[in-house]
């Protein structure tokens, strides 16, 4: 009898340890995936609707920003606002790298709406960072 | 492809997208997310309108 209880306890501990390990790896993977592709951190945790809405909102902001001829910042060590703009843009993950590779986001200083576009692109990156942190909170169980 | 949004339309689109993200990330239940998203949207748009009237009053 005591032997059976010990075996059950060992199995239960092994299951708990495995679940904790999965949770720990998800806590690392989810924010990275969410940063790389907006919404992916929620998708891999089966939060389909939330992921889709986050993806739609961030993609919309980023591509409307490009369509308004906003500027995509490259790495720089010049003006402080330019450096912060780069950090914000980088938050968009793959979207940023694709935009840089395709040479999108040259910017147009002659159009007022292009300045709105630049802000759209930076804010899309910042919102994506918030979404990635949210994916991390779901993974560690801080949020349902 | 280029877009020519007015300042107000650009502010509306910005408010919508930011409110969606804020609603989802800052609350836990779907109902609370919807309410908080709507609250943020109203604050964004209300802020734009108040700022616009403030600038109009300063000018005149």
In a domain? residue B18: yes
Average pLDDT, chain A: 91
Q: Domain residues for B53?
A: 9-59
In a domain? residue B50: yes
Q: Is B24 on the interface with A (CB under 8 A)?
A: yes
Give chain B's domain count: 1
In a domain? residue B4: no
Closest-CA distance of chain B to residue A22, Å: 22
Q: What is the average pLDDT across A115-142?
A: 96
User: Which residue in the set B10, B13, B21 is minimally distant from A127, CB to CB?
Assistant: B21
Closest-CA distance of chain A to residue B24, Å: 7
pLDDT band at A113 (very low <50, low <70, confident <90, very high): confident
Q: How far apart are CA B57 and CA A103, in angstroms?
A: 43
pLDDT at A104 over 90: yes
- Output the six-digit token pair for B43: 């604050």
Q: How far apart are CA A120 and CA B7, in angstroms?
A: 13
In a domain? residue B46: yes
Radius of gyration of chain B (CA): 14
DSSP A73: P
Residues of chain A found within 8 Å of residue B17, distances taken between Cβ atoms: 57-58, 60-61, 124, 127
Instruction: Give the residue numbers in A contacting B (CB under 8 Å), as ranges.
Output: 50, 53-54, 56-58, 60-61, 64, 67-69, 112-113, 116, 119-120, 123-124, 127, 130-131, 133-134, 143-144
User: Which residue in the set A60, A120, A143 is minimally distant from B28, CB to CB?
Assistant: A143
Provide the ipTM. Answer: 0.91
Collapsed DSSP state (helix, strand, coil) of residue A59: helix
Asked if A68's CB is within 8 angstroms of B10's CB, the reply is yes
In a domain? residue B49: yes
Q: pLDDT at position A43, please?
A: 97
In a domain? residue B47: yes
Collapsed DSSP state (helix, strand, coil) of residue B56: helix
Q: What is the pTM of this model?
A: 0.88
Q: What is the average pLDDT across B8-19?
A: 96
Which residues does residue A106 pair with via DSSP β-bridges, in sequence order? A71
In this structure, how many other beta carbons lie within 10 angstroms of the beta carbon of residue B33?
19
Q: How far apart are CA A73 and CA A57, in angstroms?
A: 21
- Output the six-digit token pair for A109: 């200083």
Q: Is B43 on the interface with A (CB under 8 A)?
A: no
pLDDT by residue (tens digit) across A36-58?
A: 999 999 999 999 999 999 999 99
Q: Is B25 on the interface with A (CB under 8 A)?
A: yes
């Amino acid at each position: 009898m005591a032997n059976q209880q010990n075996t059950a306890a060992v199995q239960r501990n092994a299951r708990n340890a495995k679940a904790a390990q999965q949770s720990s790896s998800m806590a690392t993977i989810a924010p990275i995936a969410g940063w790389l592709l907006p919404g992916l951190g929620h998708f891999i945790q089966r939060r389909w609707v939330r992921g889709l809405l986050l993806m739609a909102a961030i993609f919309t902001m980023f591509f409307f920003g490009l369509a308004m001829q906003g500027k995509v910042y490259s790495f720089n060590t010049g003006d402080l606002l330019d450096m912060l703009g780069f950090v914000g843009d980088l938050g968009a993950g793959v979207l940023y790298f694709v935009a840089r590779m395709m040479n999108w986001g040259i910017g147009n200083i002659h159009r007022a709406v292009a300045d709105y576009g630049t802000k759209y692109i930076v804010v899309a990156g910042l919102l994506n960072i918030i979404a990635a942190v949210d994916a991390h909170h779901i993974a560690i169980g801080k949020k349902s | 492809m280029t877009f020519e949004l007015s300042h107000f339309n650009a502010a509306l689109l910005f408010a919508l997208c930011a409110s969606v993200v804020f609603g989802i990330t800052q609350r836990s239940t779907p109902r609370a997310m919807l309410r908080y998203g709507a609250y943020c949207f109203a604050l964004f748009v209300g802020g734009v309108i108040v700022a616009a009237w403030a600038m109009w009053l300063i000018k005149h």
